[in-house]
Structure 1
Amino acid sequence: MEPVWYPDARAQETWLGRFMAELGFQDYEAFHRYSVEEAEAFYHAFFTRLGVPWRAPYTRVVEGHFPFPRFFVGGRLNLVEACLRHDPTRPALVHETEDGHVRSLTYGEARREVERLAGGLRALGVGRGDRVGLWLPMGLEAALALLAVAHLGGIAVPIFSGYGAEAAALRLKDAEAKLLIVQDGFLRRGRRVELLPEARKARAMAGTEKVAVVRRLGLPLEEEADLAALAGPLSPPEEMESMDPFMLIYTSGTTGRPKGTVHYHAGFPLKAALDLALLFDLREEDRLFWFTDLGWMMGPWAILGGLILGATVFLYDGAPDHPGPDRLWRMVAAHRLTHLGLSPTLVRALIPFGEAPVEAHDLSSLRVLGSTGEPWNLEPYLWFFRVVGKERLPIVNYSGGTEVSGGILGNVLVRPIKPMGFNTAVPGMKAAVLDEEGRPVVGKVGELAVLAPWPGMTKGFWRDEARYLETYFQKVPGVWVHGDFALLDEEGHFFLLGRSDDTLKVAGKRVGPAEVETAAMAHPALRECAAIGVPHPVKGEAIVLFAVLKPGFAPSEALAEEVAERVAEALGKPLRPERVLFVPDLPKTRNAKVMRRVVRAAFLGQDPGDLSALENPEAVAAIKRTREG
């Protein structure tokens, strides 16, 4: 596949271009080899260049190896000082609510608000090591609460704003949270969503000691504290060791309870800043908007990474297409945003509105587009590139995860970018594609793995070391096997083909679900689809494709045959889907990932595991009906 975007002379003026020049590199491949072969020197050079304010300097960047290395050994700091050290007059945070209210804080104002809030939380009894649930939509209070907990040396537990009481309680109880900070509610598509009643149920289920409330809808308080009224003595941020935890982010597992990934002061925030600088070229004068939630990794990632780099972070807590389909583009134009990050699923959802909502607004402020969350299909990728990016903006495809604190793979702006792909492993990440024997391969599909530790990798799962070891280090001893099915081509570009536990093996041939889905999406009737493998007496596995149709198309056996034949033409007859089934929707998480494991379990009548992250549980029932039919 040929690139669709090429760097020009401005590449040398990017964050990465300037950093490479300072280190004496003109060739990116040589620079990347240096970043992984001399990782100690690379990370030291980058974070020195960044100006991280250490209270006490570290003696080594990395000590030890997988599964439990240590980073910035002996270093002491507080991430809040790294985030809020910039010119106090510059804008730090801008927040727009769904009903159009805009508030903003400069770096100086944000610092004072964090100090005030930290004093109030201390008066409630929060101190070093205490876990604090943050059940807040993306907004100023979410960012300030995250920073205030870290200021005190506490451990934040972000919770997705769309969860119900049971899902929130599960996380609060597992973390043994001392306090829950919750917003009483918010607007979504113009409708009031009241969180406070759910928070009261969750508190009772989890046994959480105290609740403090951000009042947005004006709901009356009972035993809860009003966060805005809290007061206490001010004090500087607590001095923390580099590996002291500041955050637990829970991720949904295929079975059992969610996993609490443990992140530390000199890990997650610094990895976020590195990736935003070297991949996304985020600078002080820029404005970053990633459409996400505080409960997903990309929320804290954007807030902390953006602030460490001195940029302005834009926060939005509403629907992307309310009150009209141009909502996203109107905000880009109004706030002169430079960096916009969307998931492939969200792009697919915007395409049916057509190009007019995009064309109605001046998007000339944009410099970089971003995407993460799942593999692309070609049609929506090219729509994003052509309609939004005008074929001039790079799409920084970005993939890693909550446990990684950011990316394993990405795109840098000094190399050409191929559609749907990644033109590099992130600098500092010693990534490879491994075959079934654990050997690195090129030009063949295999498991995405990381061969050496990196600052930002989780310290493990909260109070569950065995599960952590089983998840990442069971397949290949001493190697982090990430769980993604990938291909590295001869030119050094990576392509993700879906989760490896979603991998299909038909008559001995392995294929990623994304390959099947991309082939099927060539049919003009399909809006989106998901491919799964089901047991087959001869082939071992057969492919079943679940498809969602565009408006104007109706399900029929003939249409199913046409779609199956498209796949056969693209991938070969052995990989022709056994069945093509039409459904109204696919089960997705609230950050827009299609849950293939849920599709498969529902179709086969198995236990689908943790469903608390699902946006649309009714989609599961529709899939079950296809099995029954």
Structure 2
Amino acid sequence: MVGATLCIYEGSLVYPEKLSFWNFTDEHEIDHVGAGAAYYIANQQFDLIKPRYQPKTIGSTGSPLPPQTFCWLQQQFPQAQIISLSGGTDVCSAFLSGNPLLPVYAGEIQCLTLGSKIEAYNENGESVKNEVGELVITLPMPSMPIYFWNDVDNEKYLASYFDKYPGVWCHGDWIKFTEHDGIVVYGRSDATLNRGGVRIGTAEIYNIVNTFSEVADSLIICLDHEDGTSTMPLYVQMRDGILLTDELKAAIKLKLRKSYSPRHVPDDIVSVPAIPYTLSGKKLEIPVKKIMMGAPLEKAVSVAVLKDPKSLDFWLNSL
């Protein structure tokens, strides 16, 4: 970072015009650009980027970057390295990131960051490869928290990270290490959809829904019932002026079935005014699920972390 100039964009990325962010990067000839995966996905849907300046790297975080968006970004910026990265506010750092000396595979994060020992654990606490497992940190990182404020006997701290695998930090994401040591992130493990015993990452659903230009955003949950059955609704935020039709519902379901399996098909697709996010850009899948299971708002999520508290009104009013 010696000799570098930090350029910070403040405000909406698409105001006062849709290309405001890219005009900013062009104007200042920014070499290393970073934004959220959701922003890149929206750019792809509407083919918005018209770059004049070619940066050296394009960084993506906040949620998994779909393979098709990887490829599209590479077409827009043929000289840039596309870097998807992942980490956590909890550890004040990224632990999965890029390396200019390694090849880039669409849909994968290239490597672990320095100082991080990341593995994928199965339900028996065994390290696995080419298999989806829990993202765990098996050795301490310098930036890890060692306790929570006002947490008597560290009860909340231990329950948050060390309950599933004693002595091992369980971060709460589903990941897979590939045959060439890349990493695929599937989303939050506590938001994983369980259909007939088959675990489905929410990112798999979003990868398909994102290909429909009529849909601005989406959120999916799986609700378990006392009789052992489950319901999997898909909530979609439509583009301005576009309605959710039966034909579009059928098209989304058909593409999910063909791309993955019948278990990936939602039981219902519902139009909502907005998809709720945290201030750090995380979809509120778990809080929405808790609300739909009857939990009051204060038990489901801290309002202080919400980007727009009103975005939960649809679910609160539907009970």
> Do the two structures share a fold, i.e. TM-score over 0.5?
yes
Check whether the contact 2:65–2:84 (CA below 8 A) recurs between aligned residues.
no
Check whether the contact 1:348–1:527 (CA below 8 A) recurs between aligned residues.
no
Corresponding residue for 2:53? 363
Q: TM-score, with normalisation over the residues of structure 2? A: 0.89
Which residue, 21, 28, 33 being the options, matches 1:328? 21
Check whether the contact 2:173–2:189 (CA below 8 A) recurs between aligned residues.
yes
Which residue, 76, 83, 96 being the options, matches 1:396? 83
Shift of 1:516: 2.0
Corresponding residue for 1:531? 220
| Matches of 1:538 and 1:338, distance apart in 2 | 56
Shift of 1:584: 2.5
Shift of 1:446: 1.1
Q: How does 1:376-525 map to 2 (within 5 A)?
A: 376-387=65-76, 390-464=77-151, 465-525=154-214
- Code of the residue aligned with 1:341 in structure 2: it is G
Q: State the Cα deviation string for residues 302-324 of structure 1 (Å, max 9, x = none).
A: xxxxxxxxx32223333222332
Q: State the Cα deviation string for residues 335-391 of structure 1 (Å, max 9, x = none).
A: 222111101123344456643xx42x5323x2111111112234444443333xx23
Indicate how the Cα distance of structure 1 residues 558 and 602 shifts in structure 2: closer, same or farther if over 3 A, else same: farther
| Matches of 2:244 and 2:310, distance apart in 1 | 19
Check whether the contact 1:448–1:486 (CA below 8 A) recurs between aligned residues.
yes
| Matches of 1:428 and 1:436, distance apart in 2 | 25
Which residue, 572, 576, 584 being the options, matches 2:261? 572
1:609 aligns with 2:301: yes
Indicate how the Cα distance of structure 1 residues 484 and 573 shifts in structure 2: closer, same or farther if over 3 A, else same: same
Shift of 1:555: 1.1
Q: Which moved more, 1:538-547 or 1:465-474?
A: 538-547
Check whether the contact 1:535–1:542 (CA below 8 A) recurs between aligned residues.
yes
Which residue, 40, 62, 65 being the options, matches 1:347? 40
Q: Which moved more, 1:532-541 or 1:576-585?
A: 532-541
Check whether the contact 1:605–1:624 (CA below 8 A) recurs between aligned residues.
no
| Matches of 1:526 and 1:424, distance apart in 2 | 32
- Code of the residue aligned with 1:559 in structure 2: it is L
| Matches of 1:316 and 1:521, distance apart in 2 | 25
Check whether the contact 1:504–1:511 (CA below 8 A) recurs between aligned residues.
yes
Indicate how the Cα distance of structure 1 residues 351 and 622 shifts in structure 2: closer, same or farther if over 3 A, else same: farther
| Matches of 1:547 and 1:316, distance apart in 2 | 28
Shift of 1:514: 1.0
Q: How does 1:99-178 map to 2 (within 5 A)?
A: none
| Matches of 1:363 and 1:462, distance apart in 2 | 46
Check whether the contact 2:174–2:189 (CA below 8 A) recurs between aligned residues.
yes
Runs of 5+ consecutive residues of structure 2 not aligned to the other structure: none
| Matches of 1:525 and 1:484, distance apart in 2 | 29
| Matches of 1:497 and 1:509, distance apart in 2 | 14
Check whether the contact 2:277–2:306 (CA below 8 A) recurs between aligned residues.
yes
Check whether the contact 1:590–1:615 (CA below 8 A) recurs between aligned residues.
yes
| Matches of 1:351 and 1:623, distance apart in 2 | 29
Q: State the Cα deviation string for residues 557-577 of structure 1 (Å, max 9, x = none).
A: 332222122212222113321
Q: State the Cα deviation string for residues 474-533 of structure 1 (Å, max 9, x = none).
A: 111221111111111222111111111111111111111111222333444333211211
Corresponding residue for 2:31? 338
Check whether the contact 1:376–1:420 (CA below 8 A) recurs between aligned residues.
yes
Shift of 1:441: 1.0
Q: State the Cα deviation string for residues 525-553 of structure 1 (Å, max 9, x = none).
A: 33321121112467643322111233564
The structure with higher relative contact order (CA 8 Å, sep 6+) is 1
Which residue, 61, 83, 94 being the options, matches 1:372? 61
- Code of the residue aligned with 1:438 in structure 2: it is G
| Matches of 2:207 and 2:17, distance apart in 1 | 29
| Matches of 1:580 and 1:477, distance apart in 2 | 39
Residue 429 of structure 1 aligns to a residue whose secondary structure is coil
Q: Which moved more, 1:413-422 or 1:524-533?
A: 524-533
Which residue, 291, 313, 316 being the options, matches 1:621? 313
Check whether the contact 1:599–1:620 (CA below 8 A) recurs between aligned residues.
yes
- For these two proteins, the number of residue pairs brought into alignment is 314
Residue 128 of structure 2 aligns to a residue whose secondary structure is coil
Residue 484 of structure 1 aligns to a residue whose secondary structure is strand
Shift of 1:586: 0.4
- Give the share of equivalent positions with the same residue, in percent: 25
| Matches of 1:538 and 1:399, distance apart in 2 | 37
Residue 322 of structure 1 aligns to a residue whose secondary structure is coil
Q: How does 1:268-279 map to 2 (within 5 A)?
A: none
Corresponding residue for 1:284? 2
Check whether the contact 2:137–2:168 (CA below 8 A) recurs between aligned residues.
yes
Corresponding residue for 1:590? 279
